[in-house]
Amino acid sequence: MNWSDRKFQFAALLLLTAILAAVIILGVLTEDESVDKAAYVNLERVFAEHPARTAAEQALNQKAAEYQQQLELEAEELSGTEQKEMLVQYQQQLQNLESELLTSVTEEVEKIIKETAAEQKVKFVLEEEQVLYGGYNLTDDVLEKLKAEWEK
């Protein structure tokens, strides 16, 4: 009886040791380094320095100039009401173009922020205005990556 108790105790101790070792190994192997890492981005600065900003402004200004020319050419032959309708139509088209350009830039910025955060092993990215203390400023990294993609 004494011998079997010792065998049982030894087997139980061995089993517990194996389970503990497995838990520790799994914990080390699956440890998420980014669990506590947070970063922030100054979106205002990113949009201000985005390479597409100049191109978008030029496209909008060019389209506005074209509409202005068309309006001046056709305005003489149109009544006041027709002129207003044409002006409203051109303004709507410019707003649509601006919205399309803004949407494409926003999508690109979001994509770059996600990629940069993944590279830096950052779990959370916030707008800079929302951060009171701590975190990593990801703004320069995002701008660097954006500019590199635009140079391709």
pLDDT for residue 4: 57
Q: Is the pLDDT of residue 71 over 50?
A: yes
C-beta of residue 58 within 8 angstroms of C-beta of residue 130? no
C-beta of residue 53 within 8 angstroms of C-beta of residue 143? no
d(CA 67, CA 50) in angstroms, rounded, equals: 26
**DSSP letters spanning 105-151:** HHHHHHHHHHHHHHHTT-SEEEEGGG-SS--EE-HHHHHHHHHHHHH
Instruction: Give burial (CB, 10 Å; 0-12/13-18/19+) of 80.
Output: exposed
| Range of 1-10, 79-88, 113-122 with top mean pLDDT | 113-122
d(CA 37, CA 87) in angstroms, rounded, equals: 51
Task: Look at phi and psi of residue 135 and say left if phi exceeds 0, alpha if psi is from -120 to 50, else beta.
Answer: left
pLDDT for residue 35: 47
In whole numbers, what is the pLDDT of the chain averaged over residues? 78
Q: Which two tokens stand for residue 30?
A: 């699956």
Write out pLDDT tens, residues 95-135: 888 888 888 888 888 888 889 888 888 888 888 888 788 88
Q: Is the pLDDT of residue 1 over 60?
A: no
What pTM, to 2 d.p., does this model score? 0.62
